[in-house]
Amino acid sequence: MIKTSLAECHSRIQPYIHKTAVISSRLINEMIGIDVVFKCENFQKMGAFKMRGATNAIMQLSETQKARGVVTHSSGNFAQALSLAASSLEIKAYIVMPNSAPEVKVDAVKGYGGIISFCEPTIKARVQASNQIIHETDATFIHPSNDMNVILGNGTACIELLEDHPELDVVFVPIGGGGLIAGTALAAHYYGNNCEVIGGEPFEVDDAYRSLQNGKIEYNKTTNTIADGLKTHLGDINFPIIQNHVNRIIRVEEFEIVSAMKLIYERLKIVIEPSSAVAFAALLKEKTAFKNKKVAVLISGGNVNLNQLPF
């Protein structure tokens, strides 16, 4: 049934997303002694995989719901994804953003047609502002990662990856809110041939690692990581999927993230955001364990502030 949902989801969103490239580097392969391919969701519309989940979630709404629009609170890629997906489908997207959000992100959401409400930069204020919009407009709230339609949509990147490389043994994915790794794990389970899914997570925000260890959703007390997309925690919908289908989470240090990121810029000649480098850093850290395996790394996005590159 999940496999049918994934397949239906993929054909549903296909007209609205890019089938992104899968690339590799001979030099990286030689350097680490593993054949690794990179699925480039940095080339996805609006620059990240989140376009997939946002599009699917909106398309699954009833006509009445669509007429009323959608709401989310986010200062990152999901705000942009929901805005662009909504405007492609000609519906309204209300985006709650903290008044501390960088101008570049505010402009991006505006550029994609999102209707922005600002709030104080606290979780409480965000929820309040969203509830207020829902009260006024009857719009539907869509969570960035803890929503089954978002998870299924995100999983389509791995379906495409396995179409191109059916023989994959392992897919590395960054883990933040859990929406990408949960979708990837479902796709790998139903479309792969014993294909494992491994999460990469910064030590500084290792809530998902601890959640798997302790069997309950854990949170981060501090979020001192360059991987700004991975500061969030898991949710009750994606956590059971991750428990069932994710084989392992490998934690990495900040300097390992920066060094993996630089290697990708230098060798693959692509622009990625720090969160995307975390999955590759995890592979680099434990590379001896993956000798002779067919490995893929899912590059989650490329929306980075070029004035603040860590090199």
Q: Which is nearer to its own copies, 124 or 269 (CB)?
A: 269
123 belongs to the binding site for its own copies (CB under 8 A): no
Q: Using DSSP, state whether 94 is helix, strand or coil.
A: strand
* Rg of the Cα atoms in the chain: 18
280 belongs to the binding site for its own copies (CB under 8 A): no
In terms of Cβ atoms closer than 10 Å to its own Cβ (0-12, 13-18, 19+), residue 269 is: exposed
Interface residue with its own copies among 16, 38, 42, 51 (CB under 8 A) is 42
Which are the catalytic amino acids?
50, 75
**Structure tokens, 32:** 């680490």
Separation of alpha carbons 87 and 36, rounded Å: 36
266 belongs to the binding site for its own copies (CB under 8 A): yes
Interface residue with its own copies among 23, 116, 237, 258 (CB under 8 A) is 23
Q: Which is nearer to its own copies, 215 or 311 (CB)?
A: 311
The β-bridge relationship of strands 35-40 and 22-23 is antiparallel
Closest CA to 204 of 188, 190, 221, 217: 221
Q: How far is the CB of 271 from its own copies (least distance, A)?
A: 4
Q: How far is the CB of 20 from its own copies (least distance, A)?
A: 10
Q: Using DSSP, state whether 163 is helix, strand or coil.
A: helix
153 belongs to the binding site for its own copies (CB under 8 A): no
Q: How many residues bind to its own copies according to rule CB under 8 A?
A: 20
Q: Which is nearer to its own copies, 26 or 124 (CB)?
A: 26
Q: 300 and 276 in contact (C-beta within 8 Å)?
A: yes
Q: Which is nearer to its own copies, 23 or 116 (CB)?
A: 23
- Non-local (6+) Cβ contacts of 220 within 8 A are 204, 205, 206, 207, 231, 233
49 belongs to the binding site for its own copies (CB under 8 A): no
The stretch near its own copies (CB under 8 A) out of 75-83, 161-169, 263-271, 289-297 is 263-271
* Residue 114: other Cβ atoms inside 10 A: 26
Q: How far is the CB of 310 from its own copies (least distance, A)?
A: 10
**Structure tokens, 210:** 């601890």
21 belongs to the binding site for its own copies (CB under 8 A): yes
Closest CA to 304 of 264, 275, 267, 263: 275
Q: How far is the CB of 185 from its own copies (least distance, A)?
A: 25
Binding site for its own copies (CB under 8 A): 21, 23, 26, 40, 42-43, 45, 47, 262, 265-266, 269-272, 302, 306-307, 309, 311
